[in-house]
Amino acid sequence: MTLVPGSTRPVITALIDPATVEAIAGETWIALVGDDEVIVPAPGDLPADTLSAWVDITGPWTGSVVLTTGRQTAADLTRALLGEAAPELLDHEDVADAIGEIANVVGGNVKAALPGPSTLGLPEVGQAPAVRDPDDVCRLDVLWRGRPLVVSIQGTLPPLPTPHEHPYPNGASL
Amino acid sequence: MRALVIDDSRAMRRIVSTALEGFGYETRQAGHGQGALDVLQEGYAPDLCTIDWNMPVMDGLQFVSVVRANPAWRALTLVMVTSESEQGQIVRALAAGAHEYVIKPFTPDALRDKLALLGMLPQGVAL
């Protein structure tokens, strides 16, 4: 198992693979967004104006499951999710609630695939949390209706310092 | 039959309510466990509660425990509808007094099947 350097913490890619994340996201899309709605694994360029929703997982692996897409795509996702109940004019709260719930469902199922016990946080929406350790990321790029979305499962703990030799092996110091 | 749909996501409340109304339920909604207790204490008497797990103010597991501690609500059927899908969490919810467990994402058919197992489908709903 791949560990975070210098620690006993496994990195996310040792615990879950993109195919599992894709299966989770695909099921979520069909159930929440619509029977005919599919996501296709393919990279795409996110627009400059993006919105992210994420849930935190705390346990043997600690990090966030982050869904990021363009604001217009997030609004269209919200309309698809709400169907006939969608208001004529969506406000930010509508969009935040909808994509937050998608992140919550994906995150809950990701958590179940990880070693436990773990706890799941409440959804948050805004600008995606920064990647703390590039080695502790499992990223899935998909297209929905031809538009890009990214699901990123990313550790929120910084990499531990790598053990290194004492510069003065005999214990001498300056 | 009446159902109280408890979830902090408005979108999910709509999805669950739409499914239940399709089965013939009349529904009300609450955004967290305390809000649901308020609805029950006002005198609303549902046959069924669907309950999310992770919610602000009062989570679903706390709500189940409070309801199960009150003999007046003994007849209430409690179904967790949640993305918490670890086996240990399912066991905890059932031990606390939930009757069934539906994992998000779910289809209306899956919810209908669970309700059928509990004998909680209004008459005339096709299986």
Is A63 a domain residue? yes
| pLDDT value of residue B65 | 97
CATH code (residue A132) = 3.40.1550.10
Given A32, A109, A117, which is nearest B85 (Cβ)?
A109
pLDDT tier for residue A174 given thresholds of 50, 70 and 90: very low
**pTM score, two decimals?**
0.87
Residue range of the domain that includes A81? 27-155
Query: What is the rounded distance in angstroms from the CA atom of residue A104 to the CA atom of residue B76?
Result: 27
B12, B18, B58, B111, best to mutate vs chain A, most A CBs in 10 Å: B12
What's the complex ipTM? 0.86
User: Does A23 touch chain B if contact means CB atoms closer than 8 Å?
Assistant: no
Is A84 a domain residue? yes
Contact A133, A98 (CB under 8 A): no
Q: Return phi, psi of residue A62, to 5°.
A: -120, 125
Residues 29-88 of B with CB under 8 A from A: 54-56, 82-86, 88
Is A91 a domain residue? yes
Three-state DSSP class for B38?
helix
Is A13 a domain residue? no
3-state secondary structure labels for all residues of chain A: CCECCCCCCECHHHCCCHHHHHHHHHHHHHHHHCCCCCEEECCCCCCCCEEEEEEEEECCCCEEEEEEEEHHHHHHHHHHHHHHHCCCCCCHHHHHHHHHHHHHHHHHHHHHHCCCCCEECCCEEECCCCCCCCCCEEEEEEEECCEEEEEEEEECCCCCCCCCCCCCCCCCCC
Burial of A79 (0-12, 13-18, 19+ CB in 10 A): middle
Is A11 a domain residue? no
- Show residues of chain B in contact with A122, CB under 8 Å: 8, 54-56
User: Does A100 touch chain B if contact means CB atoms closer than 8 Å?
Assistant: yes
| pLDDT value of residue A173 | 45
Query: Could you report the per-residue pLDDT of A33-51, keeping only the tens digit for each?
Result: 988 899 999 999 999 999 9
Three-state DSSP class for B102?
strand
CA distance A78 to chain B (A): 8
The domain B2-117 is classified under which CATH number: 3.20.20.140, 3.40.50.2300, 3.90.1150.180, 3.40.50.150?
3.40.50.2300
Tokens of B46: 């549902």
| pLDDT value of residue A8 | 67
Query: Could you report the per-residue pLDDT of B25-61, keeping only the tens digit for each?
Result: 999 999 999 999 999 999 999 999 999 999 999 999 9
Query: What is the rounded distance in angstroms from the CA atom of residue B53 to the CA atom of residue B32?
Result: 9
User: Does B119 touch chain A if contact means CB atoms closer than 8 Å?
Assistant: no
Report the pLDDT averaged over residues A108-134.
Answer: 92
Q: How many domains does chain A have?
A: 1
DSSP strand E in chain B: where?
A: 2-6, 26-30, 48-51, 77-82, 100-103
Is A18 a domain residue? no
- Show residues of chain A in contact with B82, CB under 8 Å: 108
CA separation, residue B84 to residues A83, A125, B88, B92, B110 (Å)? 25, 20, 10, 11, 16
Query: Could you report the per-residue pLDDT of A70-104, keeping only the tens digit for each?
Result: 999 999 999 999 887 788 899 999 999 999 999 99
Q: Residue ranges of the domains in chain B?
A: 2-117
